[in-house]
Amino acid sequence: MALVAVGVVVASGSGANSGTPPAKPLAEAIADSLAGPQIAGISARIEFTNRLLPSTGFGGQDPLMAGGSGRLWASNKSAVRIELQSEAGGGDVEIVARGNKLWLYHAASNTVYKTTMAPDKSGNGAKTPPTVAAVKRVLRQLGSDATISGALGDNVAGRPAYSTRIAPKAKGGLVGGADVTWDAANGAPLRVAVFARGQNDPVIAIEATEVSFGPVDPSVFAIRPPAGAKVEELSAASNGGKPKKGKKPARPVTGLRAAKAAAPFNVSAPATLGQRKRSAVTAVGRGAKTKVIVRYGKGLGAITVIESVASKTHAAPTSARSKNSEHDAIQIPTAKIGSAQAIALGTPLGSIVSFTRGRVHYVVIGSVTQQDALAAARGL
């Protein structure tokens, strides 16, 4: 959701009248939408849909787990705030991103999750809007793997808008496609929805129901989580910071033989897994923190196996309920992988299996059914 909001503030343009915009070729509709002056900020009411997890056993009243409504603010100063409420009384969720700092407050468990994002290296200078020819080149590249509809006239939150459907041509796994709708006058995303294969209702969607463009008071982003909340520090998604003095960052190692030599554990990488051929092997990190990533197949339907040295955080689940079950009522689905107890979670868009065998921890993830993910895990 934060990425969608960031996408809003880098769009360009100004106001528009209600109604449906005139028909245009897709490339022209995109280029024209991005051709106006820069937006100073956005304020919007939003609806968030989440049908990834079953409503029972996964905190069905939680607005992150089951969806909810709320508000979004974003400025062109790298600041975003999203708040969500559950109509069923599951507690609020607050997300604030300022610069490279991001925190999420989960009221039901009274917990704050904090992380530092990778630094933005794109620069802050003015950028020339893309030409129709440039947009056509991007669409041709995307069209080699996906089917893209034309620009369909729409109206979202009282704004004239264009919408397009993107669907994988082949090897898309469980993903059926995605709808993207943007403001015809300024390119701001107004609705993004992801569909599972064979389903008409979106699995995940975020949509603006009311929206206005203009400067946002900086005090909107100056809020802090409650002082008594538990704080969880999450590792950064990218090693964007400087390496420790005297040490160079480890470069990824590619190839099965090189990855086996770099790993401090026995790498399991059969030639085929889940009826897919091994397509890539990469080792990242160094020493005991080395992870080996083995990919099987291609496209969205590929299966990825992540192997690492087992630690105390990878201990087998001893209960079907989470540690915070008194707050979130979440049940953790488990399964057997040989003699190992595994976490096995299936969703309409993909599945993940996590287990430890010996001194090695395995994560199997892919846009496949839970049954297929378990079969792949048992093939390691």
143-184 pLDDT, tens digit per residue, is 988 999 999 999 999 999 999 999 998 888 999 999 999 999
> What pLDDT is attached to residue 234?
82
Residue 27's pLDDT band, with cuts at 50, 70 and 90, is: very high
What pLDDT was estimated at residue 4?
43
Q: How far is 193 from 84, CA to CA, in rounded Å?
A: 17
What pLDDT score does 320 carry?
Answer: 46
Is the pLDDT at 13 greater than 90? The verdict is no
Average pLDDT over residues 5-10: 41
- Vertex 131 angle, CA 129 and 137, to 5°: 120
Q: What residues form DSSP beta bridges with 143?
A: none
User: In the predicted model, is pLDDT for residue 196 greater than 90?
Assistant: yes
pLDDT above 80: residue 322: no
The mean per-residue pLDDT over the stretch 333-360 comes to 93
Q: Which of 85-89, 112-116, 300-304, 338-342 has the lowest mean pLDDT?
A: 85-89
- Residue 145: name the closest of 367, 27, 350, 298 by CA: 298
Confidence of residue 108 (pLDDT cuts 50, 70, 90): confident
What does the pLDDT read at residue 224? 87
pLDDT for 206 equals 95
Q: What pLDDT was estimated at residue 191?
A: 96
What pLDDT was estimated at residue 184? 93
Per-residue exposure over 244-275, b if at least 16 CB sit within 10 Å of its own CB, e if not: eeeeeebeebeebeebbebbebebebeeebbe
| Helices 26-33 and 132-143: angle between axes, nearest 10 degrees | 130
Alpha-carbon distances of 379 from 57, 265, 271, 364, 373, rounded to whole Å: 29, 18, 11, 11, 10
- Overall average pLDDT of the 342-349 stretch: 93
The pLDDT of residue 247 is above 70: no
Say yes or no to pLDDT of 90 above 80: no
Residue 266, SS3 per DSSP? coil
> What was the pLDDT predicted at 7?
44
Burial 146-176 (b: 16+ CB within 10 A, else e): bebeebbbbbbbebbbbbbbbbbeeebbbbb
The residue among 37 and 34 whose pLDDT is bigger is: 34
As a whole number of Å, the end-to-end CA separation of the chain is 35
Asked if 217 and 73 touch (Cβ cutoff 8 Å), the reply is: no
Q: What is the pLDDT of residue 89?
A: 67
pLDDT grade, residue 2 (50/70/90)? very low
pLDDT in the model for residue 126: 52
Pairwise pLDDT comparison (128 vs 218), residue with the higher score: 218
CATH numbers and ranges of domains, the chain: 2-232 (2.50.20.10), 242-378 (3.40.1000)
Residue 187 has pLDDT above 70, yes or no: yes
Q: Residue 331's pLDDT band (boundaries 50, 70, 90)?
A: low
**48 vs 14, more confident:** 48
Are the beta carbons of 163 and 180 closer than 8 angstroms? yes
User: What mean pLDDT, rounded, does the chain reach?
Assistant: 84
Q: How confident is the model at residue 227 (pLDDT cuts 50, 70, 90)?
A: confident
Beta strand segments in 184-221, E = 189-196, 204-213
Has residue 321 got a pLDDT over 60? no
Residue 350 is predicted with a pLDDT of: 95
Better pLDDT: 273 or 314? 273
**Under 8 Å CB-to-CB from 221, ≥6 apart: which residues?**
73, 75, 79, 80, 81, 96, 98
**Tokens of residue 222, six digits:** 């100056």
pTM score, whole prediction: 0.81
CB 16 within 8 A of CB 163: no
User: How large is the average pLDDT for residues 335-342?
Assistant: 92
For residue 101, the cross-strand partners are 98, 116
